[in-house]
Structure 1
Amino acid sequence: MQLDSRAQTLLKALVERYIADGQPVGSRALSKISGLDLSPATIRNIMADLEEMGYVSSPHTSAGRIPTPRGYRLFVDTLLTVQHLDEQSVHSQIQLPPHQPQKVIASAAQMLSSLSQFAGVVMTPRRESVFQQIEFLRLSERRILLVIVDPRGNVQNRLLLTDVDYNPAELVQSANYLNQNFAGLSFDDVRARLSGELRELRDDIGRLMQTAVEAGSAAMEEDTEKVVIAGERNLLAAPDLTSNMSSLRQMFDLFEQKTGLMQLLDVSSKASGVQIFIGGESQLVPMDEMSVVTAPYEMNGRIVGTLGVIGPTRMAYERVIPIVDITAKLLSNALSHG
């Protein structure tokens, strides 16, 4: 059912007032702030209709009304006037360090938190597990140290426990084969190519290479923090999220486990532009009182991750949306030119 312009104006005024002070909004207050020349009785009738349609609800303790998740959704989709934020002024407040991807990402999370006063979150780019060089060092019988050097010169070590006791010559032969044929490729590519070539290699040498590729891929994946979060403590100042121990526990479970957060950010990376997930409406947000505003970011024109702000449903969306949007653009620029 479509809302007429009066109902839209009243809902917009109610949501804005509730976001500002967190108190249920009564008909008398709405008649003053909406700018509509309507009698209190008419306003009450419209509010009753909005309640029946599921856009507002009445707390038991008050004659006023508050927005529901459905009301917030209509507000952010059609009634919101987004503030203009100047990209240059945001950039001048907090600089993103060039040429240091991990520091850039941490700074972006901090920037989101500082500007919004909520929690900032960045899903790090899925790093291709490319290796430049591999070495095998025999530690003892059936124990080998796998040494991986990536294109930036970073070194990863992995202990391999093998079924066969390889001698030093076999280890050198295996490392040379991998380095000469696959250096500069990702472990996923090596796995695909190697499977076709293993038939030509001795079984136990082939097994060693397969083990090395699996272990190398896992080592590179583990080396990257999947989600960077800044400013979780800011949410302790949001009474809507910390009103009871159950809410508090849910909130910190989200940050501690990160799997739900990863899923949410992964979903939003497949969309373009700013996405708003409102708790109570989105199955991905674990709390009714929580919202997440996200945007994907790019590296050289390719979407590689997502960032966002986590805060109470009662947040100033008109401020948070441009903060997320501009930070995504700044991070894209910093990573692409870094």
Structure 2
Amino acid sequence: MDERARTLLKTLVERYIADGQPVGSRTLSKASGLELSPATIRNVMADLEELGLIASPHTSAGRVPTPRGYRLFVDTMLTARALDLSDLSQSPADVASVRDQLQAADQPQRVIAQAAQVLSSLSHFVGVVTAPKRTSVFHHIEFLRLGEKRVLVILVAPDGDVQNRVIITARDYSPSELVETSNFLNAHYCGLGLDEVRERLRGEIDTLRGEIAQLMQAAVQAGTEMAERSEQVVVSGERNLLGVQDFGHDMGSLRKMFDLFEQKTELMRLLENSSRADGVRIYIGGESGVVPYEELSVVSSPYEVDGQLVGTLAVIGPTRMAYDRMIQLVDVTARLVGNALSGPR
């Protein structure tokens, strides 16, 4: 394309993102700043349509971008400034709010849940975050008697994350027995992985009092199940898509989309692919091979904890989104999540 066509395409995409209405030649003539006749603009638009970059809805004489047009716009015509986290005075007010909300979360799982909610509320679309794989190492364990043969197991991970699980025991335990067992576990097994604790218990079970051994085995099994079943993908704001005019009435596609958010397996595959990207990655329309909707885009970024890539977060919304703002939002949230999860908590 020549520079004239590029300017008109850029103007058309920007106007359509802002207004949500097909863009006609008269609007382009005024908005582009080019001194071109309406006839010339119509000819250029015909060429852009032939290239598959714009399309004409049946009900309007104006044009709208296609996924291919958005792709070219994002790749070659868009600039998004990275924010300096060390000085947020020149940043939008909501960025400081994101930082404060994430820092206020006192456990890793709450940081992840808060990040998904922040992405959703600031984008007005869907926020998705993959959680770091839960460690199976415990830093501290406690038992709390809830009733006859019902005990609450409280496991604290080294990163401060707390998991609770109710177990049913073969017999009733007194509070003093529960304290004795937790003290023994904390003194002899703190800092070990649950698999290692299980192996050591097999070798030491004959030397332990029967009730202590049984209770510890039940606690290790509960901790292992919690690690295996922990939620790996947190999704927030799915209902926001019901209000998007581009596809809010297509119930078949909406059903597929909500199935995607509910099952989460395909989302994990998409975000795992994104985790290999260097910085922000954008999927437009059907490019991801996962999101079952041509009118949806995904803006994603991996995040690091203590220098290691451990997860990915994303905004999922309509192709008609303000990509520059979404790129900035996803990028800064990824860095703030990494900061909130790194180092001592």
Relative to the length of structure 2, the TM-score reads 0.75
Q: Is the 8 A contact 1:54 1:71 kept in 2?
A: yes
Q: Which runs of 5+ in 1 are unaligned?
A: 136-144, 161-177, 202-209
Deviation at 1:237, TM superposition (A): 1.8
Q: 105, 109, 115: which one pairs with 2:116? A: 109
Q: Is the 8 A contact 1:14 1:25 kept in 2?
A: yes
Taking the aligned partners of 2:30 and 2:135, their CA distance within structure 1 comes to 58
Q: Which residue of 1 aligns with 2:287?
A: 281
Any idea what the Cα deviations from partners look like across 1:45-88, whole Å, max 9, x if unmatched? 22222222211112222222111111111111111132676752
Q: What is the root-mean-square deviation of aligned Cα atoms in Å? A: 3.9
Taking the aligned partners of 2:34 and 2:163, their CA distance within structure 1 comes to 67
Any idea what the Cα deviations from partners look like across 1:224-268, whole Å, max 9, x if unmatched? 221222222322221113132113212222222222222111111
The question of 1:65 aligning with 2:63 is answered yes
| Counterpart code for 2:21 | Q
Q: 293, 310, 321: which one pairs with 2:316? A: 310
Taking the aligned partners of 2:226 and 2:94, their CA distance within structure 1 comes to 37
Against the structure 1 CA distance between its residues 270 and 78, is the aligned structure 2 distance closer, same or farther, given a 3 Å change threshold?
same
Q: Which residue of 1 aligns with 2:299?
A: 293
Q: Is the 8 A contact 1:277 1:285 kept in 2?
A: no
Taking the aligned partners of 1:282 and 1:246, their CA distance within structure 2 comes to 19
Taking the aligned partners of 1:76 and 1:189, their CA distance within structure 2 comes to 50
Deviation at 1:302, TM superposition (A): 0.8
Q: Which residue of 1 aligns with 2:16?
A: 18
Q: Is the 8 A contact 1:133 1:179 kept in 2?
A: yes
The question of 1:129 aligning with 2:136 is answered yes
Against the structure 1 CA distance between its residues 234 and 61, is the aligned structure 2 distance closer, same or farther, given a 3 Å change threshold?
same
Taking the aligned partners of 1:64 and 1:99, their CA distance within structure 2 comes to 48
Taking the aligned partners of 1:186 and 1:68, their CA distance within structure 2 comes to 51
| Counterpart code for 1:261 | L
Against the structure 1 CA distance between its residues 264 and 13, is the aligned structure 2 distance closer, same or farther, given a 3 Å change threshold?
same
Deviation at 1:186, TM superposition (A): 3.7
SS in 2 for 1:59: coil
SS in 2 for 1:241: coil
Against the structure 1 CA distance between its residues 4 and 323, is the aligned structure 2 distance closer, same or farther, given a 3 Å change threshold?
same
SS in 2 for 1:242: coil
Q: Is the 8 A contact 1:129 1:187 kept in 2?
A: yes
Q: Is the 8 A contact 1:296 1:306 kept in 2?
A: yes
**Which stretches of structure 1, 4 residues or longer, exceed 6 Å deviation after superposition?**
178-182, 188-191, 210-215
Q: Could you tell which deviates more after superposition, 124-133 or 82-91?
A: 82-91
Q: Which runs of 5+ in 2 are unaligned?
A: 143-150, 169-184, 206-216
Taking the aligned partners of 2:196 and 2:29, their CA distance within structure 1 comes to 65
Q: Which residue of 2 aligns with 1:219?
A: 226
Relative to the length of structure 1, the TM-score reads 0.76
Correspondences of 1:94-105 after superposition (within 5 Å): 94=98, 95-96=100-101, 97-98=103-104, 100-101=106-107, 102-105=109-112
Q: 297, 317, 327: which one pairs with 2:333? A: 327
| Counterpart code for 2:122 | L
Aligned residues: 313
Correspondences of 1:200-215 after superposition (within 5 Å): none
| Counterpart code for 1:301 | G
Deviation at 1:183, TM superposition (A): 5.8
SS in 1 for 2:342: helix
Taking the aligned partners of 2:37 and 2:105, their CA distance within structure 1 comes to 62
Q: Is the 8 A contact 1:279 1:288 kept in 2?
A: yes
Q: Which residue of 1 aligns with 2:211?
A: none
Q: 88, 94, 97: which one pairs with 1:90? A: 94
Q: 228, 237, 241: which one pairs with 1:235? A: 241
Taking the aligned partners of 1:104 and 1:156, their CA distance within structure 2 comes to 18
Against the structure 1 CA distance between its residues 52 and 187, is the aligned structure 2 distance closer, same or farther, given a 3 Å change threshold?
farther
Any idea what the Cα deviations from partners look like across 1:170-214, whole Å, max 9, x if unmatched? xxxxxxxx99997634457789xx6xxx9xx9xxxxxxxx99988
